Amino acid sequence: MAKPELIQAFNDQIREELNSSYVYLALSADLDGQNLTGAAAWFRKQAEEERGHAMRLYTFVNDIGGQVVLQALPQPASGVKTLKEAFTKALAHEKHVTASIHKLVKLSRQLDDIAAESFLKWFVDEQVEEEKNAAEILAKIEMTGASSGSQYMLDRDLGKKAGASAS
Ligand code: FEO
């Protein structure tokens, strides 16, 4: 049976992942409001993925006999108007989540919980991927500039990536 301190930390991480979902859904809503519908679809898909991350943790806590306790989420910020603002926020947010996952791995090690550490490997790898994706999109935005033409092209590409029609 995992230690209560670890169960608490996993519950905190469930909140982080649900909060990520909420943050991305708010970005999606902002971008829809700017008619950047491709990027909005990309963030909506991201929001769904984050909920999936929360559910992975939820299932693990159940599997090890812990009690899942859901926590309150803060109201996400809104008012983003450009792709650059949205992806700058997304990259900073992913870095924050990476730090919290690494903290959880270190706690598992400290408590000598090999099962928890093994389970978290997927999240460590996922964070590398998510930071890379956000950083690459942000680099593209910086490369192509802030004109409405380049925003349009990038928005269309993001829509395609999300598997949505951005036209
Ligand atoms: Fe589940 Fe993007 O952190």
Query: Which helix (H) or strand (E) is 124 found in, with range?
Result: helix 114-144
pLDDT in tens, 93-104: 999 999 999 999
pLDDT of residue 112: 97
Q: Averaged over 99-110, what is the pLDDT?
A: 98
What is the average pLDDT across 139-143?
94
Q: Which residue's alpha carbon is at the smallest distance from atom 1 of ligand 1?
A: 50
Ligand 1 atom closest to residue 98's alpha carbon, by position in its atom list: 3
The predicted model gives 18-34 an average pLDDT of: 98
pLDDT of residue 148: 83
* Euclidean distance between CA atoms 122 and 65, whole angstroms: 21
53 token code pair: 């991350």
Question: Which class is 4-70+78-162 in CATH?
Answer: mainly alpha
> Which residues are within 8 A (CB) of 83 and not within 5 positions of it... i.e. 6 or more apart?
31, 36, 39, 141, 151, 154, 155, 158
This model's pTM is above 0.85: yes
pLDDT, mean of residues 111-116:
97
For residue 139, CA distances in Å to 7, 10, 19, 20, 95 come to 38, 33, 25, 22, 16
155 lines ligand 1 (CB under 6 A): no
Question: Residue 164: pLDDT above 60?
Answer: no
Domain ranges of the chain: 4-70+78-162
pLDDT in tens, 75-88: 999 999 999 999 99
**Cβ-proximal residues to 59 (8 Å cutoff; 6+ apart), any chain:** none
